Structure 1
C-alpha cells in the first residue's frame, strides 16, 4: 500500500463522538481544495468520495501518480467550475489516504488495526462537518457525491440541513440492500481468510493480506459494471492467445482485467480500511436512523428538517448496484416533505461507474443544478 505523507490535513480540536458510543481523539482529516474561496465564503462546494476514493478529486494523486478521480467533472470551465467555486474534498475517516483510520497510530503509539472503532456514514459526515467548522465555512453552496459519496450527501442533508443550499446525490441509495451487504461480506471474508491478515495486526510485519484484498476488489468491481459494458469491452475474447489453455491461467480478457484491477488496488489501499468502510456502508439506513427507539421511521422523516434545501437525484439505467428504484425511493421521501427536488434517470452503458466516466448528459445536469 502506498504511504501517505506530506498531505494537507488538519487535526480536529475536539473529540469526535461516534454512533457506536465510542469516540476518537485527535482525529486527522486529510483534504484538498480547488479554486478560491469567496470573501463571504458563499461559493464552497463539498464533494464526498466513494468507497475507494480519496481527496484528490481534481489533481494528480501524489501517492499513485494517477489523475484525479473526477477531473472529468471538476476543474476550470468544467461542470463544477473551480473558476467560480471553492471545492473541498476530504478523505473519509476509516480510510488510508491521510485521515484517521485503522492504520493510524492509536494513543499507545501502535496502529489501531482492529481496535479502531466501527464507524458509520453519519460518523464520516460528522468528521467533515467538523472540518468545515475548522475552515470557518458555515454553509455550503452545495454538497455533491456519487455512490458512497451520495450516501454522505444525503446524510448531511438529513443530519445537518442547515449546512448546505443544494444536495446532488448521484447513483446512490438511502440504505444498503441485502444484496449489497452480501457482496461486501464476500470481500470481507476474502480479506480475513488471507493468512497474512493476522486478525488485522499485519502492520510492520512486511506481509499484508494482498491476495484477499485483491479478490475483494475483483468481486466489488464486477458490481460497478454492466453486463452490456462487459460484453462490449471484453466479450469472450481470449487474452494474448489464440486458443484456450485448458488450465486456470487468465484465458479470457475479462479475467485478466479483473486480476489487474485487484492487484493494482493493493498498491494504494489498506485491507483493514476496506473492512471498516464497507461495514459503514452496510450499516447505512437513513430511515432507521430517524425512526427513534422503535427504528420504524420512514425515509421521509429523515428529511423533515431539510427546509428550503434543494435536491437533485440522478440514477443510471444500467446501474444494477443502486438501481433507479432506489433513487425513486429518495425522491418520493423528499416529495412527502415538500422538499424541492429534481430527478433524472440517465442512459449510459457503463453501469454504476457511469458517473465517473464520459457522460455528457450528466455534465449538463450537474452544471445546471450547481448553477
Structure 2
C-alpha cells in the first residue's frame, strides 16, 4: 500500500532517504537520497490509483511538468486525474539526489570519490525508493533516452512488480559509436583545468568551458541533420562575419551561436561532475552483461513492452528500436515518431508522442486486468 504521508504535494519535490546502495561493481554508497516529484489531481484516493513511473533523460530531472508539459496534467496522456505519477531525479544527478556534488559523510563534497555507476545501479536506487513509498506494483514505466535504458532495466531486474513498459529512443546496449561520442564529451570536461580531477566543488571555479564543449557535441546528436541545415545553413550570425580574412571565434556562423546558447544554458543548471558520472553510466548500458548477451537477455523479458523511436534519430537510430522489437520476449508494439528534429523528437513532437502514450496505456489497462504471476 502506498505510504501516502511520504508523498510530496502534487507537483512538488521531496528528498527521501532510501538507505545504502551497493553498486554493480561492489561499492557501497551510504545513505542515498533521491529527489522525487509526485503528480496527481482530483479526489480519487492515491492508494486506488495505478502508478506510472516516468524516467527522465540525461540532463532532465524529476519535474516532468517542466520538460514534458504537454504530456502531463488533467485529461492529458499522463492523466493526473487518474494516475499517481512519480519521477525521481536519478542517482548521480544534481537536482536533489545523491551525486558527486552531494555531501560525503565527512562533510565535504563527494567529488572524485563518487563511484562509477551503471544504469542498473540507478534502478536499484529507484526500487529502494519504491520500497520506502510502499509501492509494490507499477502500472507502467515510461522513459526516453537514458530514461528508456532505465525502463528496460526495470523490466529485467524487477519484472514481478512491472505491469508494462514503454522505452523510447533507446537501444539494448550502448553502441561503439555512442560510447565514442559520449566519452569524447567526458574528455572535454576532464581536460578543463578547473576540473581538478573532479574535486572542484570547494573551489571558486568549475569546469564550465569543458562542460560547454561537451554540450555542443551532445546537442548535435540530439537534433536532426536536415533540421539544423534548414534552420541555419551557412548563414553568418547577425552582425558577425565568419568569411573575413582571418578566423576569429567572435565571428561565427549562426549554428555556432545556437550551440553556444545551448552550452551556456546547460552550464547554468547542471553540474559537470554529474554529467560525467551519468554519461559514463550510459556508456556502460548493456542489458546483456552477465545475462548471456543482449539478445538472450531480451528474449527472457516477461514484461509486456512497447517500443517507440524517432525516424531521424542519429544518437539512438531507428534500427536499434527495430532490434528491440525483434528480440524482446514479450513485445507488444512498435511506434515511430516522424520528425526532422532527431532524437529530441520525443520532447518536441508532443502530439505524436501523446498518441503513442495513450495507445500504450490502453494496452497497459488490458494487461492489468490479469494478475501478475
Q: TM-score scaled by structure 1? A: 0.89
Distance 1:235 1:134, change over 3 A: same
Say yes or no: does 1:310 pair with 2:310.
Answer: no
Contact 1:348 1:359 survives alignment (8 Å): no
Shift of 1:47: 0.4
Superposed structure 1 runs of 4+ greater than 3 Å apart: 36-42, 242-245
Matches within 5 A, 1:103-142: 103-142=101-140
What corresponds to 2:61 in structure 1?
54
What corresponds to 2:231 in structure 1?
233
What corresponds to 1:102 in structure 2?
100
SS at match of 1:145: strand
What corresponds to 2:340 in structure 1?
349
What corresponds to 1:28 in structure 2?
33
Unaligned runs of 5+ in 2: 1-11, 363-373
In 1, Cα distance between equivalents of 2:299 and 2:47: 28
Shift of 1:358: 2.8
Shift of 1:232: 1.9
Shift of 1:245: 5.2
2:198 pairs with one of 197, 200, 210 = 200
Matches within 5 A, 1:149-228: 149-228=147-226
In 2, Cα distance between equivalents of 1:194 and 1:342: 45
Q: TM-score scaled by structure 2? A: 0.89
Contact 1:321 1:352 survives alignment (8 Å): yes
What corresponds to 1:10 in structure 2?
16
Contact 1:158 1:303 survives alignment (8 Å): no
Shift of 1:105: 1.0
In 2, Cα distance between equivalents of 1:7 and 1:39: 17
Partner deviation per Cα, 1:313-369 (whole Å, 9 max, x = no partner) = 0111100111111111111111xx3x1420122211110000001342221111121
Unaligned runs of 5+ in 1: 1-5, 59-67, 292-296
Contact 2:36 2:87 survives alignment (8 Å): yes
Say yes or no: does 1:258 pair with 2:252.
Answer: no
Matches within 5 A, 1:16-95: 16-35=21-40, 38-58=45-65, 68-95=66-93
Shift of 1:302: 4.2
In 2, Cα distance between equivalents of 1:363 and 1:319: 18
Shift of 1:40: 3.8
